[in-house]
Amino acid sequence: MEKTSNSSVFLLTVNGQIEGANFPDYDNLYCKYCYVYGHDWAPTTGLEEGITQITSKSSQSHKLIWNFPLETTFKSTNPSGWPQLVVSVYGPDVFGNDVVRGYGATHIPFTPGQHIRTIPMFVPEPTWRLQKFTGWLLGRRPEYTDPKVVAHGEGREVTRVRSQGFVTVSFHIMTKDMKRMGYDTGPTNSSTVQFATSSQSRDAQ
Amino acid sequence: MAASSDIREKLRMKRRALQDTLVKNKNEDDIQALVPSAKFNVDNQPTAMKEAEGSDEDPGESLRRTLRAQREKRKTKLLEQPFVQDEDVGEVSPTQYNSPNEGPSSRVDDSVVSTRPPTGSQRGVSVKSEQPSSSLHLDTFVTRHLQEKLRAARSKGESLQQQETSKDSSEPVSRLQRLKDRDTITRFDREADPVSSGRHDDPLTLRSRVKFQEQARRVEKDFPTTEEAYNFFTFNYEPDQPSKPESKSKMRQKQRDGVEEDDRDENGQEEAEVEEEDEAEEDNQDQNEFQSEEAPLVRNEDNLFVIDHLPQDFVEVRKAEYVGFKKRVQRDCELLFTPSFRAVPTSVKLPENTMPRFLEDEGLYVGQRPAVSLTNKNISENRILKMAEGSKWFGDDGKILALPDPIKESSTRPPLFHMDEELDPALQTVYRKAMKSQYANLYIAGATDPEGDYQLDVDVSGLIFSHHPLFSREHVLASRLAQLYDQYLSRQQNNLTGHLTEKLNGLRKALRNMMRIHGEQGSSEALQHRISEYSLEVRNTRQLRDLEQEKDRTLLRSIIKVWKEIKSLREFQKYTNTPFKLFLRRENVDRALDEWEYEGEILKEVLELEAESEEQYQKKLAEYNKQLEDWKLWRKKQKAKQKKKKKKSQTQDDTEEEQEEEEEQDQTESEDQFEEDPVKPEVPERPDIDSLERWVREKASRIRRKPGEAILVPELCTSGGVTASDLCPRAEVARREDVSRRSLFIKILYNYKEVSRTDSCSLSTDFRVHFGQIFNLKVLNCPQSINLQVFEEIGSSYSLLAQVFVPVPDPSVVTGRAPIEEIEFSSNQHVMFDHEGVGSDVPLSFESDGSNKLTLLTSGKLSCCVSWGIGEEGVPLAPPLSQHPGGTHRGLGHLDAVSYIGASGLYDMKKIGEWAVQSRLDPNDPKNTSIMHLLKVASSGEVTAPDYFRLEHLQEEFNFVSDEEMESSKRFRLLRLRNQEAPEFRNYKFVPLLEREVSDKVFQDYEKRLKDGETIDTRQHLNPHRAVVAKYLQQIRESVINRFILTKHHYQLSDLVIEEEIPSIGILGINLFKLAESKRPLKPQRIERKKVTAQNLSDGDIKLLINVIRAHNIPIRKPQSSKPGQSSQSAVQGSDWYLSQVQVRPFVEVSFQRTVLQTTTADGPNPSWNEELQLPFNAPNGDYSTGSLQSVKDEVFINIFDEVLYETGPDDKSRATSIHTQIEKHWLGSVKIPFSTIYSQSKIDGAFKVNTPAVLLGYSREHGNTSVYDQWRSTQGGTFVRLFITVEPQLVPGESVREKIKEAEFNSQEDERLLQASEKFEKHAAGGYPDRPCITTVIDLSGKTIFITRYIRPLNPPQEFLDAFPNNPQEATSLVARYVSLIPSLPDQVSFSATCDLLSTCDQFLTLLAGDEQEHAVLLCNYFLFLGKKAWLIIGTAIPEGPTAYVLTHEQSGYFIWNPSSGQFYEKGDTFCPLQTVGCLVNSDNVWFNIQENPSPLHTNFDITKVKMWKPFFSRSFSHPGLSSVQVNVKPYLYTSIFSFSLECPCIPKMF
């Protein structure tokens, strides 16, 4: 695809971090993330997949904090297949087996600026009760064959899931050439974006 | 002090000594020391040097070196002071030469500075200033470390400074002078261009120089040199830098560890630190200047102080042990900072050379600092010092800057004793209304006015029960009485009777007047009409009045009746419960007048009635006459008819007529006459005046009081006493107590939320509750419902009695103007008491016999009032009308997409119009504007309702672009094709963003393919037929792929979720059994490996494992009788040699994907290698997806060679000394195994027949005929090699699409019942014997599911075969088998790039000229059947094909198994039969599944009649439905000549 080098693309820069999660019942969790995007997208820089450290709750706060930075730039020729962030959370169960604690996905926000997304997480349910028990006992709970499944709608009707908790992700989005290519993602132009992000970050401090 | 100074002196001495030795040693092994010293630092770092930035290697090396040096130094103890000084200086200078970074100029610079005498007081400043740059390329750690030491020392050492300097003066002076001398020498020695190298070129070095200079100055009182002066004025001194408290504290800690053993005086230590400081300064300097080599040298001095602390510090003990831990700690050090909680010495916190200044001591007021615990203070100080510019947070006194504690001990708020007069106006409380949150707007529909706050006043005044469960009987009656009385009062108030009477009189008068006028002036039409109208009105009014009078009368009667009942009840029960008393006041009337009025009234009424009846009569009479006329006319006609018939009876008729007329007059009944009715009308009855009067009088007596009778006026009062409880019976007392226990309150619910509740008021004995409370509700939400819930409280528990929904008031209803309304409520709760209370929902009778029961429900009236509040200026605090929920309709109208687009014509306009008229929509109501507008438009005819129905009336609006644009745009076309998953674009990446960037080339392939669809290129193929076939195959492939793609979108749970299967009881049992198994079993079994999904694989991950176990029956070498090229030696040895030597030395060579590996060489015709060969596997294009792996066409070639060694010697001369051996590989045979087979079966284990050439020159199969077994085997005539082949790691084979295709319900022409049965059969088979393939249905080329027996049908082979050996059917059979085996084999996986098993019919198979084993088998089976054999299709597994199909025939001699692909046949008992498992047998009638214990053909009994061994598909319960065959009847062979030729010529198959 050497011809893409001179063809026009627009860029989407995703900065941000997987801030943390709220899993009331679980502790010592870590998180994996990956991006799912369409045919017309390609990451140019940054990590496409990652895995956070294991974090545990403090006695005061029930939030799990990862603060795991995300920094990826995508280029694309087509907004269809807009990248999605897929996060999956794992952690030990009572027997110390590493089991999945949740899957979730969210689209990367398409307006420039700061965004905070709280991703509800879910896990697939065992098909029947006995399996649930044995899965619990043996630490082999049902998992998706591929975490990226949660970014697609196809075939999901065959699964049953249970909601688990929430993962909070903050995004700082920058786009380049989107408007020039005719994709207007919002009223903000670059200068106001600059202002908005800076003011928000001040607020955050 | 003296003691301390002594100790200091000692310390100093020691230091010197150490320095001395160090320097000496260092000079000796100059650079050698560099390497080992590195370790020291690494060791030290975790403990002492937490904050080394980790950027430099140098500190490690240097420390290492120092350690080494110190160790050596400790061995040699030299204590010569002057020498030390000398060496000390020397130590500095040589290091300068080693600087890698700086040129000679800087070195010169350095020397210049070092010789410079000290100047001002910038010492501390300069020390700190070098820090920011340190991170760049200086050893930060050492610098800071030393700096901190310096500061620490200074804090206490400041006081001793003078003294010290005086003491030290002699030594430093001399030293520095010497240094100066030395420097000048080096300078002139080395300096190439001292002038051009300005010292300002490198500010970094400059700063360090400055530092050094200050150091020197501090010790020595000299005058500044010119350079120094210049430097002083030009140099830009930077402000203080924060130092690192933490490392300092660490250092201190470490020091203490060593020092504390000695229990030294603190002062002494401090002095030592001061000493240290001097050295540290130099250290710093050197360190900064010269990164690499000399820094460690200098740090030696630093560590000198540690030397006498603990020997362990210098022993290289820790180096090797904790590498992993250290690394981790080191990494931690880089990332983590743990502030120490030790006190920070003041010197660190203060700028250099400053004494802590205590403002308090100077008499200034300093506020009390906030109380902070010492630990916390230390921690924060350490933390601050760590920060950049941290020292600015410290005040002059060395403490953290802090404001005075803002918290006062006591409350600063003055007690408000004098509330009224002396309150500070600033402290006055100001009332502010509660702020409404921003979100409130969301709730009020369309609220534009954020200031609008609305108040709803709910006035709950009281409650009266009309019935209560606790009512006694008397109460029931009393309440009834009260109700009746209320009714009476209201009637009296309205006085309808009087009103109507007046009206009646007026009307009568008017009527009389009119009659009079009428009588006088004659009747005009209008007057007549009016009179009749009036009389009608009079009649109506009179009737109304009569009704009302009657009601009055009955009401009065019932009041009296109830009162009587009460009285009797009271008498009966001997107590009174209610205070009611009814008085009947008699108003005597003038009897005469009354009677006269009464009579007059009756008279008038009678007159009127008479007139009315007269009028009625007249009307009826007129009607009658008219009818009579008609009748007569009709009668005449009849008579005329009769006359014609019989004229004689005319007279008789006349008499009859007269009679009839008489009858008419006599008739007393008036009846309706029908005109058509031939019945003669009857004369209406004349009204009976007397009866009228009688009726009037009767009525009057009923509804009116009798003339002269006194008027009874009931008066109900509550003056009666209630019997005291003491006098009452027990039941009544219990009731009363119950009443007194009860209390009531009312909850006010606004929009279904409780907003308030009244106080709880106890229920009074008369069952009235007075609340009298007004609630002001601030309203933010639209009022939807206001609900008052009446609760009854008994003790602490309360229950909901009733709910009263109060209508939301109009905005015009405001407080003050709204009347209190009584809203009735009732409850259907069932209550029953054992005391006098009557209960609720309980039948109750007042009659003695219990009849006439009535059931009373709790009910009552709640008097309340809901209104909008009034604001300060009298503005009603009511929301505007549009904010009511109804108002939202208008807004919706604008947003309604349907009406917006103009689809409103869908509605039936007429009906809407009708409805609007009927419901009397207010056209001015803004709510109705949209409807009114619609109606107007509709009625004006601008919009005509369409008489069609649009399915997607919004489609056009949502079209992205027009269809033409869609078609013409290349980009859209590309996107669409990709979406349709056209093969060329299925995985097309980066569809260009702009239209112009889509190149035309993109579509070339696609269009070419589309174009090629019609044309067939014959050039690439042997003949046109093959071209057609290739095309056809291509089409099938595409259709299969399309179907595959389609089915790929049908997901099953297992596609998405990995889930452990539930261990069944059996498996659990096996697992338990396994526990008892021996750890190393004698016959180990292969453990199932974990399967790896293909997605996360890359090149090199996959290996092909080939275990060459052994071979059988390898051809052996023929005795080389005449080989001239061979050495004579072998000939000499003769046959003895051959007998003793091996007959053959075979080895196996495996080649796969350009990798060739071979086993070792074994001996003999039946060698055993048992060697594992690993061959790497690379997927095409690195694509390890399942689909890609399936289409790998590579094959594994296993060749067997004979290794022949020849001894060759160039000549005999050298033979004595050397042997030359020539190795030759003689190819014996090969086995070819496609990778797709390995992949799909994941492992292949078995004996393969080696393809050997028909003639192997120099080799023979004839063995020594040594045993029967060999003999038997030789007849088999085959060489076999036993292999185990697998892929490591085990790949997940592509899942069969067949299941999915079935799932996807592809059309099938089979009976549904049959399909179900076959599914069940296969499922059962798979459940019971998972390793035995069972096929009952197959998919044909068009994708339809077909039962397999349809494929089996006798089919004629080419006639030539039959003709060839007319007498030998055995020959014909083998001919046919050969014929079938010559048809090329093409596995479905390869042809359709998916594991989609398609079975073509024999006809198609022969047309396509290619097919897999199943098709071969079917064809062969059909031919055999034609030849009259008993033949079956065997579905089983074989080597190496895996699941495949063979053919079984039954002859006289037994069962034979035919391999259709090779044309070979095996006896049932043949151990080398490639067929391993017999799954099921198929013929045209039935399918039998093998349920025998051992599925191998050797042990299988092929007698299908035995039900215990073969499970038939069609049985008695499910008989064969008579499936017709899909095969053709007779196959005409067009190419028979070619095929017959191909029989003879084995090279034909290669053409395919």
Range from B672-681, B848-857, B1029-1038, B1431-1440 that averages highest in pLDDT: B1431-1440
pLDDT reported for residue B1276: 54
Range from A183-192, B385-394, B627-636 that averages highest in pLDDT: B627-636
Q: Which residues of A touch B997 (CB under 8 A)?
A: 7-8
pLDDT at B601 > cutoff 60: yes
Task: Establish, for the pair of chains A and B, how many residue pairs have beta carbons separated by less than 8 Å.
Answer: 93
Residue B77: strand, helix, or coil: coil
Chain A residues at the B interface, defined by Cβ less than 8 Å, are 1, 3-4, 7-10, 39-40, 42, 77-78, 80, 124, 126-128, 130-131, 134-135, 138, 140-146, 149, 154-159, 181
pLDDT at B175 > cutoff 80: no
pLDDT reported for residue A34: 93
For the ranges A73-82, B928-937, B1447-1456, B1540-1549, which has the lowest average pLDDT?
B1540-1549
pLDDT reported for residue B215: 54
Position with higher pLDDT, B306 vs B522: B522
Position with higher pLDDT, B1291 vs B670: B1291
Q: Which H or E run contains B843? A: strand B842-844
Confidence grade of residue B893 (pLDDT, cut at 50, 70, 90)? very low
Confidence grade of residue B503 (pLDDT, cut at 50, 70, 90)? confident
pLDDT at B251 > cutoff 60: no
Residue of B985, B987, B990, B997 to mutate, testing the A interface (most A Cβ within 10 Å of its Cβ): B990
pLDDT at B660 > cutoff 50: no
Tell me the average pLDDT across B1507-1522.
Answer: 79
**A167 part of a folded domain:** yes
Position with higher pLDDT, B138 vs A160: A160
**A72 part of a folded domain:** yes
Write the CB contacts of B371 (distance below 8 Å, at least 6 apart in sequence). B405
A40, A131, A155 ranked by CB distance to B1055: nearest: A155
**A153 part of a folded domain:** yes
For the ranges A148-157, B249-258, B464-473, B529-538, which has the lowest average pLDDT?
B249-258
Search chain A and give the residue with CA nearest B992: A77
B495 Rama sector, left if φ>0, alpha if ψ -120 to 50, beta otherwise: left
pLDDT at A105 > cutoff 90: yes
Give the closest-approach CA distance of A5 to chain B in angstroms. Answer: 11
> Percent helix, strand, coil in chain B (nearest 5)?
50, 15, 35
pLDDT at B165 > cutoff 80: no
pLDDT reported for residue B1306: 53
Neighbouring CB atoms inside 10 A of B375's CB total 11
Q: What does the pLDDT look like over B109-138, one tens digit per residue?
A: 444 444 444 444 444 444 444 444 444 444
Number of domains in chain A: 1
For the ranges B860-874, B922-936, B1119-1133, B1537-1551, which has the lowest average pLDDT?
B1537-1551
Residue of A75, A78, A100 to mutate, testing the B interface (most B Cβ within 10 Å of its Cβ): A78
Q: What are phi and psi of B671, to 5 degrees?
A: -135, 155
pLDDT reported for residue B918: 64
Tell me the average pLDDT across B224-228.
Answer: 59
For the ranges B513-517, B1172-1176, B1300-1304, which has the lowest average pLDDT?
B1300-1304
Q: What does the pLDDT look like over B1236-1272, one tens digit per residue?
A: 778 777 778 878 878 877 777 777 766 544 444 444 4
Strand partners, A86: A34, A105
CA distance linking residue B737 with residue B155, whole number of Å: 90
pLDDT reported for residue A117: 93
pLDDT at A197 > cutoff 50: no
In degrees to the nearest 10, what's the CA dihedral of B1341, B1343, B1344, B1346? 50
pLDDT at B283 > cutoff 60: no
pLDDT reported for residue B922: 60
Confidence grade of residue B66 (pLDDT, cut at 50, 70, 90)? low
Tell me the average pLDDT across B1033-1039.
Answer: 76
For the ranges B310-314, B626-630, B759-763, B1294-1298, which has the lowest average pLDDT?
B1294-1298
How far, in whole angstroms, is CA B190 from its chain's centroid?
75
CA distance linking residue B610 with residue B608, whole number of Å: 5
Asked if B1051 lies within 8 A of A143 by C-beta distance, the reply is no
For the ranges B170-179, B415-424, B594-603, B1071-1080, which has the lowest average pLDDT?
B170-179
Q: Two tokens at B106?
A: 């800087």
Give the closest-approach CA distance of A98 to chain B in angstroms. Answer: 15
The fraction of chain B above a pLDDT of 70, given in percent, is 58
Write the CB contacts of A189 (distance below 8 Å, at least 6 apart in sequence). none
| Residues A199 and A172 sit within 8 Å (Cβ to Cβ) | no
Give the closest-approach CA distance of B1041 to chain A in angstroms. Answer: 19
CA distance linking residue A131 with residue A142, whole number of Å: 9
Range from B91-105, B803-817, B919-933 that averages highest in pLDDT: B803-817
The fraction of chain B above a pLDDT of 90, given in percent, is 0
pLDDT reported for residue B424: 67
Strand partners, B1438: B1442, B1475
Write the CB contacts of B151 (distance below 8 Å, at least 6 apart in sequence). B243, B248, B345, B347, B348, B349, B350, B352
A10, A40, A154 ranked by CB distance to B1051: nearest: A154
Residue B1199: strand, helix, or coil: strand
**A3 part of a folded domain:** no
Tokens 């630093």: give the residue: B302
pLDDT at B435 > cutoff 90: no
Residue A113: give its domain's CATH number: 2.60.40.150
Q: Rounded to a whole number, what is the distance in angstroms from the first to the last CA of chain B?
A: 112
CA distance linking residue B1366 with residue B1372, whole number of Å: 8
Asked if B991 lies within 8 A of A77 by C-beta distance, the reply is yes
pLDDT reported for residue B36: 44
B992, B1053, B1063 ranked by CB distance to A127: nearest: B1053
Closest C-alpha to B484, from B551, B550, B556: B556
pTM of the model: 0.43
pLDDT reported for residue B1355: 84
Mean pLDDT, chain B, integer: 68
Search chain A and give the residue with CA nearest B999: A3
Q: What does the pLDDT look like over B342-394, one tens digit per residue?
A: 887 777 777 777 777 777 777 777 777 778 888 888 888 888 888 777 777 88
Q: Two tokens at B654?
A: 């006349």
Asked if A155 lies within 8 A of B987 by C-beta distance, the reply is no
pLDDT reported for residue A168: 94
Q: Which residues of A touch B993 (CB under 8 A)?
A: 7-10, 77-78, 181
Strands B1195-1207 and B1221-1234: antiparallel
Strand partners, A29: A55
CA distance linking residue B883 with residue B781, whole number of Å: 10
Q: What does the pLDDT look like over B1469-1504, one tens digit per residue?
A: 777 777 888 888 888 888 888 888 887 887 888 887
Handedness of CA B1179, B1183, B1186, B1187 (dihedral sign): negative
B993, B1059, B1063 ranked by CB distance to A7: nearest: B993
pLDDT reported for residue A119: 93
Tell me the average pLDDT across A56-67.
Answer: 87
pLDDT at B1552 > cutoff 80: no
* A142 residue type, one letter: P
pLDDT reported for residue A106: 94
Give the closest-approach CA distance of B901 to chain A in angstroms. Answer: 25
pLDDT reported for residue A35: 93
Confidence grade of residue B1015 (pLDDT, cut at 50, 70, 90)? low
Q: Which residues of A touch B999 (CB under 8 A)?
A: 3
**A191 part of a folded domain:** no
pLDDT at B1546 > cutoff 60: no
Position with higher pLDDT, B556 vs B84: B556
B991, B1057, B1095 ranked by CB distance to A143: nearest: B1057
Tell me the average pLDDT across B1354-1381.
Answer: 78
Tell me the average pLDDT across B185-197.
Answer: 43
CA distance linking residue B377 with residue B342, whole number of Å: 9
Search chain B and give the residue with CA nearest A144: B1057
pLDDT reported for residue B294: 44
pLDDT at B100 > cutoff 50: no
**A107 part of a folded domain:** yes
Structural domain of residue A130, as residue ranges?
A: 10-181
pLDDT reported for residue A19: 92
A80, A134, A156 ranked by CB distance to B1062: nearest: A134
Strands B1279-1288 and A10-22: unpaired
pLDDT reported for residue B901: 42
Position with higher pLDDT, B1156 vs B659: B1156
Residue of B971, B1058, B1185 to mutate, testing the A interface (most A Cβ within 10 Å of its Cβ): B1058
pLDDT at B315 > cutoff 90: no
pLDDT reported for residue B301: 45
Confidence grade of residue B615 (pLDDT, cut at 50, 70, 90)? confident
B975, B1051, B1058 ranked by CB distance to A143: nearest: B1058
Strands B1103-1112 and B1168-1176: antiparallel
**A125 part of a folded domain:** yes
Helices then strands, counting H and E runs in chain A, come out as 2, 10
Tell me the average pLDDT across B457-481.
Answer: 83
A9, A128, A145 ranked by CB distance to B993: nearest: A9
Asked if B988 lies within 8 A of A39 by C-beta distance, the reply is yes
Residues across chain A = 205
Rg (CA), chain B: 62
Q: What is the 3-state secondary structure (H, E, C) of B401-460?
A: CCCCCCCCCCCCCCCCCCCCCCCCHHHCCCCCCCCCCHHHHHCCCCCCCCCCCEEEEEEE
Range from A26-35, B304-313, B979-988, B1081-1090 that averages highest in pLDDT: A26-35
Residue B854 C-beta-side C-alpha neighbours within 13 Å: 9
pLDDT reported for residue A187: 60
**A204 part of a folded domain:** no
